[in-house]
Structure 1
């Protein structure tokens, strides 16, 4: 299903605030990870990105950020 082809869903999404859309996105992601992860084929580039990140972790060069804080920081930079 493509959302643009489903007017009720597309209309509903347009009515949501950015915060509500973010919450909906998080709920959808949790559902996908919990119940549908085996059905989704990761993109080809994903393996390389994960491999690079694993190397950073092993070498001690990885930096960890809270996702909400990272978004707040991005918003401040863009403001």
Structure 2
């Protein structure tokens, strides 16, 4: 599949293609290694939660913030 073909796809077709790609990746025999910075971010977030400094919002609040 090439870029012009992808651009012609509908949203539903885009989502179906993405699902097929994720499914194919899930069945790969080799594991994809996450970059080191992923672990660093997760560690920072975990520490923030454990210290009680993390703030949580609902998905609806998030949607409202992203629309602004």
How would you bin the TM-score normalised by the shorter chain?
0.5 to 0.7
Structure 1 consecutive aligned stretches of length 4 or more whose deviation exceeds 2 Å: 8-12, 34-38, 68-73
State how many pairs are aligned. 63
State the Cα deviation string for residues 3-30 of structure 1 (Å, max 9, x = none).
xxxxx3423321134x443x244x244x
Q: How well do the aligned residues superpose, as a CA RMSD in angstroms?
A: 3.3
Relative contact order higher in (CA < 8 Å, ≥ 6 apart) = 2
Q: Which runs of 5+ in 2 are unaligned?
A: none
Q: Which runs of 5+ in 1 are unaligned?
A: 1-7
Counterpart of 1:41 in 2: which secondary structure?
Answer: coil
TM-score normalised by structure 1 residue count: 0.50
Give the one of 52, 67, 75 matched to 2:44. Answer: 52
Kindly indicate which of the two structures has a greater share of residues assigned to helix.
1
Q: Which has the larger radius of gyration?
A: 2
